[in-house]
Amino acid sequence: MVVDKKVFANMLVQAAEYMQAKTEYLSEMDSCFGDGDHGITIGKIAALIQEKVSQWEEAQDIKSFLDDLGMAIMEVRGGSAGPLYGTLIGGLGVDLNDGENTLEAEGGKRMFTGCLSEMEDITTAKVGDKTMMDAPIPAVEAAQKTEGSVKDILEAAARAAENGAKDSEKYVSKFGRARRYKEQTIGTPDAGAVSTSIFIRGLSDGMK
Partner 1 sequence: MKMKKFINDPANLTDELLDGLVLANKEIIYRGDQNMIINKDPENADRVTIVTQGGSGYEPAISGFVGEGMVDISVVGDIFAAPGPQACVDAIKLADKGKGVLYIVLNHAGDMLTGKLTMKQINKQGIHCIKVVTQEDVSNAPRENADDRRGLVGCIPTYKIAGAAAAEGKSLEEVAAIAQRFADNMATLAVAVRGATHPSTGATLADLGEDDMEIGMGQHGEGGGGRQPMKTADETAEIMVNALVKDIGIQSGEKVMLIINGSGATTLMEQLIVYRKAVDVLKQQGIEVVANYVGEMLTVQEQAGFQMFMARMDDELLRLWNAPCNTPYLKK
Q: Could you say whether residue 71 binds partner 1 (CB under 8 A)?
A: yes
- At position 193, the amino acid (one-letter code) is A
Q: Could you say whether residue 86 binds partner 1 (CB under 8 A)?
A: yes
Q: Which is nearer to partner 1, 83 or 128 (CB)?
A: 83
The closest alpha carbon to 202, from 13, 24, 52, belongs to 13
Q: Could you say whether residue 77 binds partner 1 (CB under 8 A)?
A: yes
- Segment contacting partner 1 by CB under 8 A, of 13-21, 116-124, 133-141, 150-158: 116-124
Q: Could you say whether residue 87 binds partner 1 (CB under 8 A)?
A: yes
Among 25, 78, 149, 152, contact with partner 1 (rule: CB under 8 A): 78
DSSP symbols for 162-193: HHHHHHGGGSPP-SSGGGGGGGGGTTS--HHH
Q: Could you say whether residue 176 binds partner 1 (CB under 8 A)?
A: yes
Q: Which is nearer to partner 1, 79 or 108 (CB)?
A: 79
In b/e form, how buried is each residue of 31-70, taking b as 16+ CB within 10 angstroms? eebbbebbbbbbbbbbebbbebbeebeeeebbbebbbbbb
Among 50, 60, 64, 80, contact with partner 1 (rule: CB under 8 A): 80
